[in-house]
C-alpha cells in the first residue's frame, strides 16, 4: 500500500496515490474557478437589477459561491468518493489536499458522506435559488435565506463538533497537527459558514420583523377609520 500523509497514523486510504501537481497549481485552478463564479454572478446581478445595493450584492455573491461549491466541488466528492484517493483529476487533488485536515473525506466516513449528500442535493440548489430571489428582490428571499443559513450554521457546527469530539474524547485526530492543515484548512476555511450565516439570519429576521410591524401598523390604522 502506498504510504500517505493522513491522520490518524495508519488509517486505511484505499488506492491512494500522491498528487502529481504542485499545491500552488491546484490552488490556482481553484482560485480561477471561484473568480469565474463570482464574476458571472456579479455580471448577472448587475444586468438583471442595475440598482442592486452593495448589501444585496454581497448576499448574491455569497449564495452563488456556496451553491456552486455545494453542487460542483462537493458534488464531485459525493459522486466519486470511492475513487478520489487514487485520482489525479484536479478536483480530486483538491480534496486530497484538503483531507490532510480531515481524512474522513477519503475514508467514506458515514457522517461526512451523509451530510455532504444532503448539502449537494438540497442546500446547493437552495443557495442558487436564494441568490436569484435576492437579485429580483422576491418576497420569498428572506424566509429561504433563513432556511439556507440555518442549514449552513447547523452543518458547520456539527462538522466541527464531530471532529473535535473524536479528537478530545476518543483521542483520534483526523487532522495533521501542522498549523496549515488544522488552523488554516480545518478552522479558517470552514469558519465563514458559521459567521456569514449568523449575520444573514439576523438580517432576515430584522427584515421580516420590520415587514410585520408595517402590516400591523396599517391594520391598526384601518380599525380606527
Cβ–Cβ under 8 Å, residues 6 and 99: yes
Task: Check: pTM over 0.85? Answer yes or no.
Answer: yes
* Mean pLDDT computed over every residue of the chain: 94
pLDDT digits (tens, 9 = 90+) for 168-202: 999 999 999 999 999 999 999 999 999 999 999 99
Which residue, among 154, 134, 160, 159, has the nearest Cα to 197 in the 3D structure? 154
Q: What is the pLDDT of residue 27?
A: 94
Closest CA to 193 of 64, 91, 66: 66
pLDDT band at 33 (very low <50, low <70, confident <90, very high): very high
Q: Which residue has the cell 448577472?
A: 44
pLDDT at 2 over 90: no
Domain boundaries along the sequence of the chain: 23-223
Instruction: Tell me the C-alpha distance between 14 and 5, whole Å.
Output: 13
User: pLDDT tens, 132-176?
Assistant: 999 999 999 999 999 999 999 999 999 999 999 999 999 999 999
Query: Are the CB atoms for 201 and 153 separated by under 8 Å?
Result: yes
pLDDT of residue 160: 95
Residue 188 and residue 185: Cα distance in Å, rounded? 6
- Sign, CA dihedral 167-98-38-141, equals negative
- CA 166-114-4 angle, to 5 degrees, is 55
Amino acid at each position: 500500500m502506498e504510504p500517505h500523509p493522513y491522520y490518524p497514523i495508519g488509517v486505511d486510504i484505499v488506492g491512494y496515490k500522491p498528487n502529481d501537481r504542485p499545491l500552488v497549481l491546484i490552488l490556482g485552478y481553484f482560485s480561477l474557478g471561484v473568480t469565474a463564479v463570482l464574476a458571472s454572478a456579479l455580471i448577472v446581478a448587475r444586468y438583471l437589477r442595475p440598482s442592486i445595493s452593495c448589501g444585496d450584492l454581497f448576499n448574491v455573491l455569497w449564495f452563488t459561491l456556496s451553491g456552486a461549491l455545494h453542487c460542483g466541488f462537493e458534488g464531485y466528492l459525493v459522486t466519486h468518493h470511492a475513487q478520489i484517493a487514487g485520482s489525479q483529476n484536479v478536483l480530486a487533488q483538491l480534496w486530497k489536499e484538503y483531507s490532510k485536515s480531515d481524512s474522513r473525506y477519503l475514508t467514506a466516513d458515514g457522517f461526512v458522506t451523509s451530510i455532504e449528500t444532503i448539502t449537494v442535493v438540497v442546500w446547493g440548489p437552495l443557495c442558487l435559488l436564494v441568490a436569484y430571489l435576492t437579485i429580483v428582490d422576491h418576497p420569498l428571499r428572506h424566509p429561504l435565506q433563513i432556511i439556507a443559513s440555518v442549514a449552513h450554521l447547523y452543518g458547520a457546527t456539527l462538522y466541527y463538533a464531530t471532529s473535535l469530539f473524536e479528537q478530545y474524547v476518543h483521542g483520534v485526530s483526523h487532522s495533521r497537527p501542522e498549523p496549515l492543515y488544522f488552523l488554516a484548512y480545518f478552522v479558517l476555511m470552514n469558519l465563514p459558514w458559521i459567521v456569514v450565516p449568523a449575520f444573514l439570519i439576523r438580517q432576515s429576521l430584522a427584515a421580516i420583523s420590520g415587514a410585520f410591524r408595517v402590516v400591523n401598523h396599517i391594520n391598526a390604522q384601518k380599525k380606527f377609520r
